[in-house]
Amino acid sequence: MHSEGTAQLPPVAPGIFTTGQEGEGSSLLGGACPACDRDFFPRPSRCPLCLGAIDEKNLGSTGKLYTFTVVRVKPSWGLPCPYGVGYVDLDGSGLRVLGLLDPESLDRLEIGLPLRLAVGEMGVDLRGNPCLRPFFQPAEEGAHE
């Protein structure tokens, strides 16, 4: 399904998220070491613990906001101003990842807020072209899209 214009845009980086269909079902892609039973994000080329091979692992799309900040200085990469960034404790893997937060929801952010991953056009890539970025939004908003 490529009916949406943003679906044609490239990801900001390859292999870090899936877009699902029509913006639903987006999830983070990381890595897992079967020998160490540990998950990683982003996916390393080798396990930093045992140097073994890393499998791709879908890390899901939900978590809780551990902490956050709102950045009000002029951002890089064409990000909206202001924009939010926070640490999110992912459900399942227990990984704590640094991620962008939905610029439309900055006034609703609070520690412990349930979040869901979304993917949309935000900013530009290294070459200055519009691109898709993953970001977290309040979980109940994702259900309405």
Q: Which residues here bind Zn ion, judged by CB under 5 A?
A: 33, 35-36, 47, 49-50, 52
Nearer to Zn ion, 43 or 133 (CB): 43
CB of 53 to Zn ion, least distance (A): 9
Cβ contact 42:30 at 8 Å: yes
Cβ contact 135:125 at 8 Å: no
CB of 50 to Zn ion, least distance (A): 3
Show Cβ contacts of residue 111 under 8 Å, excluding neighbours closer than 6 positions.
65, 66, 67, 68
What's the Cα-to-Cα distance from 20 to each of 48, 54, 69, rounded to whole Å? 29, 23, 28
Nearer to Zn ion, 54 or 117 (CB): 54
CB of 52 to Zn ion, least distance (A): 5
Among residues 141, 49, 67, 59, which one has the least CA distance to residue 104? Answer: 141
Nearer to Zn ion, 94 or 112 (CB): 94
Nearer to Zn ion, 47 or 117 (CB): 47
CB of 47 to Zn ion, least distance (A): 3
